[in-house]
Amino acid sequence: MDRRTGIKVYAVAVIAAVTIGLSFLFVKVSLTYASPLQALFFRFLIAFLGSLFLLATGITKLNLRGKKLLPVMAPALLYSAGFFGFQFFGMLYASSVEAGIIMAAQPAITMVVAELTIREKPTKIQRFCVLVAILAAAFISVYGSGGVESVDPRGVILITLSAFSMAANVVFIRWIREDYTPAEVSFLSCTVGFLIYTAVILVWGMASGNLGETLTLVKHPGFLGAMLYLGIGCTTLTTLMNSYIMRHLEAVKASVTSCIGTVVTLLAGVLILKESLGVLQVLCCVLILLAVVGTNYFGKKN
């Protein structure tokens, strides 16, 4: 990768990380109006329409003729059903600060998954950094901002599963990067999410009789604004950006910039949602950031 491409890739990575970093805030906002299933339905409906718009305007192009769709279904399912599904339900029980800190360990999780699957070999220093990041995230997740009683284990488990889903998604995209373009991965991920949550919301809506109530949610400006941000910004565009990043960077390096998103998540939770941020959280967050940066800096040089 030449210098110019490298600058472009890391610039896209920073933009994606900042965009995703605010997603926990908008998820919290959306959940004040709707259930997780309703929010996920609207998120992927808008994301799918955004993907169609990019295709119709020629901004992105698809060429799936002769390509097998089965390999790309794994990252599509992990991203839509795994990462976002666990995230939305997890945010019912976890604060955005707790969720941001847990997700900070995602690059470390990615390293482990990449080593076990696509044989990316970390150095000894990287292994140490992985251990520090995971222990720090686990410690702060257990004790939270006010002791053990302030943390709901359901939120910790679901957000952790969301982090593992994202890590597996990164590895799968690295594995298929030579066969599918970022636009193709992005479009298929948004399409799969749209089909899954549309089917689920129709079945749930008809069974409960709340389908009409679901459709009226768009009348609330706060909910619609959150869905537009989550659907277009945090799904259509970031899926496209992440696929582009992972086409050029190793799995761990591709995910390491999520530490920027963690800082954004923490600041948004404290400054906007007025959530508490204790000294313990700050120290563990610093440890996680240092560990994640260390996994990137002390990697094997190509």
**Token pair of 130, please?**
């992985």
pLDDT at 105 over 80: no
Above pLDDT 70, what percent of the chain? 85
* Per-residue confidence band for 200, with pLDDT thresholds at 50, 70 and 90: very high
Higher pLDDT, 115 or 47: 47
* Per-residue confidence band for 46, with pLDDT thresholds at 50, 70 and 90: very high
- Tell me whether residue 302 is in a domain: no
C-alpha closest to that of 79 among 34, 35, 43: 43
**Token pair of 285, please?**
């967050």
Cβ-contact 143, 151 below 8 angstroms: yes
**Dihedral Cα 94, 97, 101, 102, nearest 10 deg:** 10
* Per-residue confidence band for 6, with pLDDT thresholds at 50, 70 and 90: confident
Number of domains within the chain:
1
- Tell me whether residue 172 is in a domain: yes
pLDDT at 145 over 50: no
How far, in whole angstroms, is CA 13 from its chain's centroid? 13
Cβ-contact 20, 261 below 8 angstroms: yes
pLDDT at 72 over 70: yes
Least confident range from 35-39, 99-103, 209-213, 298-302: namely 298-302
pTM comes to 0.79
pLDDT at 143: 59
- Tell me whether residue 116 is in a domain: yes
Q: Which amino acid is at 216?
A: T
pLDDT at 147 over 70: no
C-alpha closest to that of 296 among 80, 86, 110: 110
Calpha distance 243→13 (Å, rounded): 10
pLDDT at 91: 79
pLDDT at 102: 77
Question: For all residues of the chain together, what is the average pLDDT?
Answer: 82
Full residue range of the structural domain in which residue 62 is found: 3-297
- Tell me whether residue 164 is in a domain: yes
Calpha distance 263→10 (Å, rounded): 17
Calpha distance 204→133 (Å, rounded): 39
